[in-house]
Amino acid sequence: SEYTDRQISVLSRAGDDNVTIEVGPDHIKHKLPVSILKLYSDYFRGALGGQWTESADGIKLEDVEPAIFNVFVNWIYSQELPSSDVDWVITSEAADASTEYNHDFILRTGDMLRIKTYVFADCFLVPKLQLALNQQIVNRRILASILTTDRDFRFRVWYDVVLYAFENLPPTSKLLDFMVDWHCNTYDSRRLEGENKELQSSGRLPYEFLVRVMDRYGGNNTPVPLHPRMTYVEKEVIAVEDE
């Protein structure tokens, strides 16, 4: 296959030394150039520093999902991220022949793959990848909000994505703040009806997320009108005796 100028530049720095990285519980093997891994990742720079031999010092990443590592491998060679949600599913190989494709699956999977890859970049100290992901996540949502005339529910925050982000990112992460604002911008409880998976996930939303959402709504200082008094007043229940 043909390589872009950028890929050729990266490959020219690869050298001859390779390391075998085994990914996931099934130990899927990737043989990658040491110099490229050390170029982009401080984690691999440390792990592959000093004296090592490929046969004795292969790296096992059992807790990393193969789909996420596929995106990472594609990025270190191309320096480009998948753009559309469909591209993310294809590049990551996150779905197989048995997967039931539909619009929601593509959107949800694309968003989850982005945040999981961002967490990977955070954990394995790949700042350039992390920055590219941050910009893609934010930019595509900002663009969607500009192009739609109302709160488009298709671009809502998926609750399982929120759960993963708040469980795996530091509380100071700007993406967490963005998810809160993004939720407040698109949430519409009426449209949530019939979304069984989202309703189930809503009961597991992180405390920190809910507090931030409450503060965000409250920060707008927009008074919510009260309903008529009788909506809240309790009524005396008169027991009727059996005759």
28-33, strands of its sheet edge to edge: 28-33, 18-23, 59-61
Identify how many contiguous H helices and E strands the chain contains and give both numbers. Answer: 11, 3
* Cβ contact 125:110 at 8 Å: no
Q: Is residue 197 part of a domain?
A: no
Q: Is residue 168 part of a domain?
A: no
Amino acid at 43: Y
3-state helix, strand, coil in the chain (%, to 5): 55, 5, 35
Q: Is residue 39 part of a domain?
A: yes
Residue range(s) defining the domain that contains residue 20: 1-63
* Cβ contact 32:19 at 8 Å: yes
Contacts of 83 (CB under 8 A, 6+ apart): 136
Residue 152 Rama label (left phi>0; alpha psi -120 to 50; beta): beta
What's the CA gap between 110 and 240, in Å, rounded?
59
Q: Is residue 229 part of a domain?
A: no
What's the CA gap between 86 and 125, in Å, rounded?
27
Number of domains in the chain: 1
Kindly give the confidence (pLDDT) of every residue in the chain, 243 residues in length, as a single tens digit, with 9 standing for 90 and above: 344 445 445 554 555 588 889 999 999 999 999 889 999 999 998 888 766 554 456 789 999 999 999 999 999 999 999 988 889 888 888 776 556 666 777 888 889 999 999 999 999 999 999 999 999 998 887 776 655 555 554 567 788 899 999 999 999 999 998 888 888 777 766 565 555 555 555 667 888 888 888 887 777 666 667 777 777 677 776 666 665
- Angle ∠(74,79,80) on CA atoms, nearest 5: 75
Q: Is residue 205 part of a domain?
A: no
Q: Is residue 106 part of a domain?
A: no
What's the CA gap between 147 and 134, in Å, rounded?
20
The model's pTM = 0.78
What's the CA gap between 101 and 73, in Å, rounded?
25
- How many residues does the structure list for the chain? 243
Q: Is residue 89 part of a domain?
A: no
Helix (H), strand (E) at residue 18: strand 18-23
Q: Is residue 175 part of a domain?
A: no
